[in-house]
């Protein structure tokens, strides 16, 4: 028996395009001797379709496409993920297409309603197992979150399953693949059944699906693993229910996996939304350098435009390093000094600001001038502005509304500053892309004389540790202090994080790479008084 895994890059709403991909994979799989093709969760419509699922015309289009797909298939059975409306209820479904018709349909049991998921908003849970015979083997069908808890897999075994097949749209975050393998091994040990895990690949707004589909035998041993972050079709050969061993794609380091996630997320956001390219501000600093390197790797140098906007506070080495990097990567760059524009704004405001000192107002004004120039280039040529701020800055508000936050995609939005440096070293390990001085210089916004980031922020290793504990792990200030951080640093950082929620709510979408990013993951009120010290009489 040969079963094909289709690790597909599906686009939300492109039903016709997704159907064409499924048919193409089915033809290739059949040509290689496979009798069954497994596609990802909701492969027919893409994942997550969100409020499209509330539209009757969307669900009707999916129903029509499912029937057309089944009629177009010949000589191979296909398991396809799709939404299904029945009696005013909507289900996250997987159908077995066989002999030109829909042979059987399974409804997902476990509907995740945490992290980036809100499936209970749209779907009704199923409760029955689906087991069907294929080549003399009884296969049990599961969908994504069904394998994250014991009951659905055990129900399939009770219904006679000899092997489990799971359709997934499991988004990436750091160390996610290791977690998947651990969870799936638990299901294997509980059921004593081998399992085929098929995962989606591709970028969808802030989510990146990393693929990495795999097969575990009945002993929990990994026998197949597809490459991460790329579309693939893998033929898995079985003797009975025992998968034959084949090449296993190498495990990626944290830096490699994050870099690939950022690259794929940007690539798909630009291409799927039909932008001709990107434009970004290149400052000579580490964040814009990493952003430029990823953009070139994702889109090609010919589709990237770097803009150097120096001011009176910009060091000569910043301009030199930025130009060196642009030349290293073969990127077109423009020099647009902002000193004259800055003075014009200051002159226009001179009466209003008379007798007042230079402060963050003037610093932010420079950022807003740069943001205006980048947006003008975007409007004129159609390229999307990619902002360069990182998670550490976004957390504490070390960013300017309508300035460095102005743009359409915030590539490093979920990347802490300490990880930015690691990613720079990783990229340079592949080939020289980022001048060493950019990495080793003390970071500075260069918005006033002799400025460095640590003038107003704790060291980044301290800052990132507190942010991770408070934002990602939801720890209290007391808990964080007990981890060894200074009380003054903890209180200051937490105050900044809470105070700047209004800024983050207005920031562009960006790739999620941690288990809790600023976006779908964290839904924090803007208007709030955080006072948990309740005294009861």
Is 108 considered catalytic here? yes
Could you give phi then psi for residue 460, rounded to 5 degrees? -65, -30
Alpha carbons within 13 A on the beta-carbon side of 365: 19
Question: Which residues neighbour 78 within 8 Å (Cβ) at sequence distance 6 or greater?
Answer: 22, 26, 36, 37, 38, 39, 69, 96, 97, 98
Is 45 considered catalytic here? no
Q: Give CA separation, 383 vs 10, 343, 379, 465, in Å.
A: 24, 28, 8, 35
Residue from 108, 272, 413, 520 carrying the catalytic annotation: 108
Name the token pair of 426.
């990783």
Distance CA 349, CA 341 (A): 13
Count of residues making up the chain: 537
Residue from 62, 144, 399, 424 carrying the catalytic annotation: 144
Q: Hunting for tokens 């803009």 — which residue is that? A: 307
The region that residue 263 occupies, defined by phi over 0 for left and psi between -120 and 50 for alpha, beta otherwise, is alpha
Residue from 10, 21, 30, 41 carrying the catalytic annotation: 41
Q: Give CA separation, 195 vs 4, 212, 214, 244, in Å.
A: 13, 14, 8, 13
The per-residue DSSP string of 403-419 comes to: TTT-SSEETTTT--HHH
Could you give phi then psi for residue 292, rounded to 5 degrees? -65, -45
Could you give phi then psi for residue 107, rounded to 5 degrees? -110, 130
Q: Are strands 232-239 and 242-243 parallel, antiparallel or unpaired?
A: antiparallel
Residue 167 in 3-state DSSP? strand
Distance CA 413, CA 390 (A): 5
Just list the catalytic residues.
Answer: 41, 108, 144
């Amino acid at each position: 028996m040969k079963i094909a895994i289709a690790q597909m890059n599906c686009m939300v709403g492109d039903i016709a395009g997704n159907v064409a991909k499924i048919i193409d994979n089915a033809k290739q799989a059949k040509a290689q001797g496979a009798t069954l093709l497994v596609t990802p969760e909701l492969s027919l419509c893409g994942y997550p379709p969100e409020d499209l699922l509330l539209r009757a015309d969307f669900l009707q289009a999916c129903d029509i496409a499912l029937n057309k797909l089944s009629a177009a298939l010949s000589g191979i059975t296909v398991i396809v993920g799709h939404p299904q409306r029945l009696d005013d209820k909507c289900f996250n479904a997987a159908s077995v297409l066989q002999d030109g018709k829909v042979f059987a349909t399974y409804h997902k049991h476990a509907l995740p309603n945490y992290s980036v998921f809100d499936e209970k908003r749209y779907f009704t849970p199923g409760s029955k197992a689906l087991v069907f015979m294929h080549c003399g083997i009884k296969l049990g069908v599961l969908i994504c979150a069904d394998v994250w808890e014991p009951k659905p897999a055990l129900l399939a075994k009770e219904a006679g399953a000899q092997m489990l097949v799971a359709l997934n749209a499991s988004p990436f975050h750091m160390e996610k693949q290791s977690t998947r393998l651990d969870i799936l091994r638990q299901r294997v040990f509980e059921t004593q059944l081998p399992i085929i895990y098929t995962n989606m690949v591709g970028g969808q707004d802030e989510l990146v699906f990393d693929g990495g589909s795999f097969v575990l035998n009945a002993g929990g041993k990994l026998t197949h693993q597809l490459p991460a972050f790329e579309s693939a079709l893998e033929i898995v050969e079985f003797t009975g229910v025992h998968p034959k061993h084949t090449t296993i794609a190498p495990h990626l380091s944290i830096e490699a996996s994050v870099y690939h996630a950022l690259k794929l997320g940007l690539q798909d956001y630009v291409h799927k939304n039909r932008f001709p390219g990107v434009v970004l501000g290149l400052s000579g600093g580490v964040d814009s350098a990493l952003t430029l390197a990823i953009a070139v790797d994702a889109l090609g140098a010919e589709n990237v435009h770097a803009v150097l906007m120096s001011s009176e506070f910009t060091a000569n080495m910043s301009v030199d390093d930025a130009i060196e990097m642009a030349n290293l990567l073969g990127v077109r760059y423009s020099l647009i000094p902002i000193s004259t524009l800055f003075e014009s704004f200051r002159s226009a405001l001179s009466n209003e600001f008379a007798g007042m000192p230079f402060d963050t107002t003037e610093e932010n004004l420079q950022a807003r001038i740069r943001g205006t120039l980048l947006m003008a280039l975007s409007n004129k040529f159609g390229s999307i502005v990619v902002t360069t701020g990182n998670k550490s800055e976004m957390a504490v508000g070390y960013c300017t509304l309508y300035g460095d936050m102005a743009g359409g995609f915030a590539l490093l939005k979920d990347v802490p500053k300490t990880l930015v440096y690691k990613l720079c070293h990783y990229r340079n390990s592949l080939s020289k892309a980022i001048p060493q001085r950019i990495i080793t210089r003390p970071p500075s916004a260069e918005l006033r004389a002799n400025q460095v980031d640590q003038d107003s922020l704790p060291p980044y290793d301290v800052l990132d540790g507190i942010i991770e504990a408070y934002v990602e792990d939801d720890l209290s200030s007391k808990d964080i202090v007990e981890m060894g951080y200074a009380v003054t640093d903890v209180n200051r950082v937490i105050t900044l994080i809470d105070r700047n929620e209004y800024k983050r709510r207005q920031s562009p979408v960006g790739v999620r790479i941690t288990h809790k990013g600023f976006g779908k993951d964290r839904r924090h009120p803007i208007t709030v008084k955080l006072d948990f010290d309740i005294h009861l009489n």
